[in-house]
Amino acid sequence: MRTLLEKYPRSAEYLLDILHDLQDAEPRRYLTPEALRSAAEHVGAPLSDVVGTATFYSMFSLKPRGRRIIRVCESPPCLLMGAETLLDVLRRYLGVEVGETTADGVFTLESTSCLGVCGVAPAMMIDEELYGNLTAERVAAILDRLGRDDATR
């Protein structure tokens, strides 16, 4: 963790980048209490400010997550184009609610605000990959493919 922090100047200006790096470095893809304390100490900010920042942005998590993170956009354009139906498909397929991780630790289901691709609503993001123009059938096909990929790991 120290090596990671040392690449950043000791300024709150870099807090978001630092939090991203700390979260990415954690196998369960969340910000541990130690990571939050280290970030606060590094940038010289109160821990409460760092926790406030980490809880404000939906891309950060303070609890362990799965190896793959599925984020479904729930902003109005995606909702109008059927995002709620997609969430239902995902809930049924994964057997979890939004904010939960599957028992095998593979998938975490999250909702998010606009992903910036409203022109292809409804949209979701799995890890760093964007998917748009989604239908229930397409979501099921994507999950089947990911499930197969994961089984071969």
- Kindly list the residues in this chain that would bind ligand FES in the complex (CB under 6 A): 73, 75, 77-78, 114-115, 117-118, 121, 123
CA dihedral 86, 23, 52, 118 (to 10 degrees): -30
With respect to ligand FES, which residue has the nearer C-beta, 5 or 74? 74
Provide the minimum distance between the beta carbon of 83 and ligand FES in the complex, in angstroms, as a whole number: 7
With respect to ligand FES, which residue has the nearer C-beta, 99 or 116? 116
Contact 120, 70 (CB under 8 A): no
Provide the minimum distance between the beta carbon of 82 and ligand FES in the complex, in angstroms, as a whole number: 11
With respect to ligand FES, which residue has the nearer C-beta, 31 or 70? 70
Provide the minimum distance between the beta carbon of 75 and ligand FES in the complex, in angstroms, as a whole number: 4
| Pairing, β 68-73 against β 107-112 | parallel
With respect to ligand FES, which residue has the nearer C-beta, 35 or 121? 121
Contact 63, 72 (CB under 8 A): no
Q: Give the closest residue to 67 by CA, choosing from 32, 26, 113.
A: 26
Residue 82 to residues 86, 105, 143, 144, Cα–Cα distance (Å): 7, 27, 18, 20
Provide the minimum distance between the beta carbon of 127 and ligand FES in the complex, in angstroms, as a whole number: 16
